[in-house]
Chains A and B, each alone.
Chain A
Amino acid sequence: MKSEYVNPFVEATVETFETMCGTVPKRNGKLEIKSGVFKTDDLVGIVGLSGNVCGAVLMAMSVETGLKSVSSFLGEEISEPDSDLMDGFGEILNIIAGAAAAKLSSFKIKLALPTVLLGQDQLLSGKQISPWIIIPMMFPEWGSFKIEVSMEEKK
């Protein structure tokens, strides 16, 4: 995956949270590239990317950070993990993926429907040929989260 594909996902993430949740997340440290099996956070959303690319975008955060961000998105307090948390989290990621896809319009990216997973000690696997680029990010008030992208151009 080329590094120039990273910025559209960062911009889309910032725009989505700023517009829909009223907060402006910032980059939080250096990018990491991971393959093999590695640990991710407890709340994970994933959207498959197809079209002229093959890959996926993933958003991962703690349940506590997820509850705060989805409460803000929804405009009402969610205090326990429930269907609103899972649905809202997936919808936020869907919007981020759509906004990033529009910025990468030359690839004519198509989005799969979001899938959200909740559980402790979840592991993610990435192939050496198509590793995950991990983009650490931070909300000013709710803690850290990650956007993770694995994307290759179809030949």
Chain B
Amino acid sequence: MKVLLTDDSTTMRKIQKRVLTSMGITDIVEAGDGTEAIKKLEENNYDFDFMLCDINMPEMSGLETLRKIRSTPECAQLPVIMCTSVAEKEQVMEAIKAGATNYVVKPFKPDDLQKKIESVIKIEK
């Protein structure tokens, strides 16, 4: 299983990586913003099982990145879990409208993130 992990915070990526690794997922590609994420998708021929994506990022925000992914035929169906620190209904609704598969709200416990990932993996299976 191969994952694209996108967050501008290196510490948050380390935290999320630890959760993924504990689930046996070790093929993890990292990106620090949306622009880099799109580049990594292209470089890897869009070959990912799912993506974790922060919303509040510099350069290209998480929502812009998600819209770009959904409009790209090669990855339009890629499951994307959005991570938001603003648990506001409007932002969550905006992410879902933009095509988010699921979302996780910060602060989260490792278990919370694991459950969201499991739900996406289950759908994929």
Instruction: Using CB atoms and an 8 Å cutoff, list the residues of chain A in contact with chain B.
Output: 15-16, 19-20, 70, 73-76, 83-84, 87-88, 90-91, 94-95, 97-99, 101-102, 105, 108-109, 111, 113
Contacts and interface: CB of A to CB of B under 8 A. Distances in A.
A141 B37 CA distance: 39
Interface stretch (B11-19, B43-51, B66-74, B116-124): B11-19
Contact of B56 (A16, A83, A108, A113): A113
Given A75-B15, A75-B18, A87-B10, A98 B85 contact: yes
A101 B86 contact: yes
Given A15-B107, A16-B107, A19-B107, A102 B86 contact: yes
The SS class assigned to the B binding surface is loop
A70 B12 CA distance: 11
Interface residues of B, number: 22
Instruction: Give me the 10 closest cross-chain CB pairs, A-B, nearest first.
Output: A98-B85, A19-B107, A88-B11, A102-B87, A91-B9, A98-B86, A95-B106, A16-B107, A20-B107, A95-B85
The SS class assigned to the A binding surface is helix
B86 A87 contact: no
Contacts of A97: 85
28 contacts: A15-B107, A19-B108, A19-B109, A20-B106, A20-B107, A20-B108, A70-B11, A73-B15, A75-B14, A75-B18, A83-B10, A84-B10, A84-B11, A87-B9, A87-B10, A90-B9, A97-B85, A98-B84, A98-B85, A98-B87, A99-B85, A99-B106, A99-B107, A102-B87, A102-B88, A105-B88, A108-B88, A111-B86
